[in-house]
A and B are shown apart, each in its own frame.
Chain A
């Protein structure tokens, strides 16, 4: 009986570590790296995409945005998980905002034009895109 508390503690530790491990596995879509966009508000980004002021949804399918069913550019599912932006920039907040606000400076051969979106708006849009973690299976 003297070993009781020890056993309980050991079980608890094992159990807890099991939970942690499971939690880590359960989130198969683990985000690598920083996804915090300075000055970006996801709700405002969603509003910008919904208004479609810059035509984003004309080319991209964007989860959660009505009428954003474009097939001209890549779909933006799981943007929080993507390794690269535009096939060349490591996916981090700085690069994503740079790409959204001025793709032609990064890749003049890209079909994505400079839409005139401001850096501040691009930060909001990036913040929204980083809420997207589901990839259709």
Chain B
């Protein structure tokens, strides 16, 4: 329940914080990892340096305009040589070297510790998250990247459709998702946090609602989460008729054609579809629809029946053809998949 409330705060915070820009869960100026911290420090040096140069230039211009007699004697060539060539040349050279050094400092490929490997696959307009080499076998989830604090996490990014860009400002810079290519970026989170990431390359009409939450957990907590996510959900208690009905409805309405719920199959139906997000533990996530709504029975029902109101252009049709009892049962069933 606590994480649920947090999810609501985050989904809202993403909106407000995104506009405020300078703090909270999605800000390059509020770093939560060494790479973002280095980038932020360097950015502040750049801002300060640019401010000093701007003020200096304006002061010289004012001096020249207000006191023409004092500056008349200075040959223009001297200004052009020192101010137009030597100064910018030296400054840019220093910055080029510094940028390369910062680039090296935030590249954790040579980190001594073995990284956790994760693959993030972009889709219009959501993120598939795969942990391919866990001891208990691969794990697939969506729109939420949980990572252990302190350990490098090598994120391999690619896409199923158009170009997207993976950007978690509080942890690192951007990395593009290019069709047919596997790009890599290694993240390290320095403290437990819930952060918001965002597609940073315009990818279609719901680009703005293609969000991703990054949850940095203490390593022990992370291992517990992995174990819970790898477990196949128990079938609902037969006494809870609504949940049983929801489970049946998921199969009979054809949801399994696009979505996976591990272990869910009955008669001719199986939840094995690869077009939409894996829903095996959808009830445990912070948000639904890649950050568009907080999680919960209400939002799930709203999403199923009114996807196209909430996120028009998403690749899922609105299922307002389901009768009321089926819709509420389905929403409750999905919410029960913790």
Expressed in whole angstroms, the Cα–Cα distance for A137 and B5 within the complex equals: 38
- Residues of chain A within 8 A (CB-CB) of B299 are 52, 54-55, 58
Closest residue on chain A to residue B7 by CB atoms: A53
Chain A nearest CB: distance from B208 CB in Å? 12
Q: Are A52 and B293 in contact (CB under 8 A)?
A: yes
Q: Are B309 and A110 in contact (CB under 8 A)?
A: no
- Residues of chain A within 8 A (CB-CB) of B249 are none
Q: Are B325 and A115 in contact (CB under 8 A)?
A: no
Checking A50, A72, A109, A114 against B302 with a beta-carbon cut-off of 8 angstroms, the contacting residue is A72
> Does A24 make an interface contact (CB < 8 A)?
no
> Does B303 make an interface contact (CB < 8 A)?
yes
Expressed in whole angstroms, the Cα–Cα distance for A110 and B301 within the complex equals: 12
In chain B, positions 207-266 with a C-beta closer than 8 Å to chain A are none
With A53-B294, A54-B296, A113-B331 known to touch, is A59 a contact of B301 (CB < 8 Å)? Answer: yes
With A52-B12, A110-B328, A113-B328 known to touch, is A71 a contact of B301 (CB < 8 Å)? Answer: no
Q: Are A58 and B293 in contact (CB under 8 A)?
A: yes
Expressed in whole angstroms, the Cα–Cα distance for A111 and B322 within the complex equals: 9
> Does A108 make an interface contact (CB < 8 A)?
yes
With A51-B12, A52-B293, A53-B8 known to touch, is A117 a contact of B298 (CB < 8 Å)? Answer: yes
Chain B nearest CB: distance from A54 CB in Å? 4
With A52-B294, A113-B331 known to touch, is A58 a contact of B302 (CB < 8 Å)? Answer: yes
In chain B, positions 315-335 with a C-beta closer than 8 Å to chain A are 318, 320, 322-325, 327-328, 331-332
> Does B306 make an interface contact (CB < 8 A)?
yes
- Residues of chain A within 8 A (CB-CB) of B297 are 55, 113-116
Q: Which residue, of A51, A70, A114, A115, has the highest number of chain B Cβ atoms within 10 A? A: A115
Chain B nearest CB: distance from A61 CB in Å? 9
Checking B9, B294, B322, B325 against A55 with a beta-carbon cut-off of 8 angstroms, the contacting residue is B294
- Residues of chain B within 8 A (CB-CB) of A71 are 306, 309
Chain A nearest CB: distance from B58 CB in Å? 41
Task: Give the A-B contact count at a CB cut-off of 8 A.
Answer: 94
In chain A, positions 37-82 with a C-beta closer than 8 Å to chain B are 50-59, 69-72
Q: Are A55 and B296 in contact (CB under 8 A)?
A: yes
Expressed in whole angstroms, the Cα–Cα distance for A84 and B298 within the complex equals: 22
> Does A112 make an interface contact (CB < 8 A)?
yes
Chain A nearest CB: distance from B19 CB in Å? 12
Expressed in whole angstroms, the Cα–Cα distance for A104 and B242 within the complex equals: 11
Q: Are A111 and B294 in contact (CB under 8 A)?
A: no
> Does B163 make an interface contact (CB < 8 A)?
no
Checking B5, B8, B310 against A70 with a beta-carbon cut-off of 8 angstroms, the contacting residue is B310
Q: Which residue, of A54, A72, A112, A116, has the highest number of chain B Cβ atoms within 10 A? A: A72
Q: Are B328 and A55 in contact (CB under 8 A)?
A: no
Q: Are B324 and A111 in contact (CB under 8 A)?
A: yes
Expressed in whole angstroms, the Cα–Cα distance for A70 and B298 within the complex equals: 12
With A54-B296, A54-B298 known to touch, is A109 a contact of B324 (CB < 8 Å)? Answer: yes
Q: Are A70 and B306 in contact (CB under 8 A)?
A: yes
> Does B147 make an interface contact (CB < 8 A)?
no
Q: Which residue, of B5, B11, B298, B328, has the highest number of chain A Cβ atoms within 10 A? A: B298
Chain B nearest CB: distance from A111 CB in Å? 3
Q: Are A72 and B320 in contact (CB under 8 A)?
A: yes
- Residues of chain A within 8 A (CB-CB) of B310 are 58, 70
- Residues of chain B within 8 A (CB-CB) of A111 are 301, 305, 322-325, 327-328
Chain B nearest CB: distance from A132 CB in Å? 19
- Residues of chain A within 8 A (CB-CB) of B327 are 111, 113
- Residues of chain B within 8 A (CB-CB) of A114 are 297, 328
Closest residue on chain A to residue B288 by CB atoms: A55
- Residues of chain B within 8 A (CB-CB) of A59 are 298, 301-302, 305-306
Expressed in whole angstroms, the Cα–Cα distance for A49 and B331 within the complex equals: 20
> Does B170 make an interface contact (CB < 8 A)?
no
Q: Are B298 and A115 in contact (CB under 8 A)?
A: yes
Chain A nearest CB: distance from B192 CB in Å? 23
Chain A nearest CB: distance from B284 CB in Å? 15
Could you name 18 residue pairs across A and B whose Cβ atoms are closer than 8 Å?
A51-B11, A52-B293, A52-B294, A53-B294, A54-B298, A55-B301, A56-B302, A59-B301, A70-B309, A110-B324, A111-B301, A111-B328, A112-B301, A113-B297, A113-B298, A113-B332, A115-B297, A116-B297
Question: What 6 pairs across the A-B complex have the smallest Cβ distances?
Answer: A58-B302, A115-B298, A55-B299, A111-B324, A55-B298, A113-B328
A: residues with CB less than 8 A from B are 50-59, 69-72, 104, 108-117
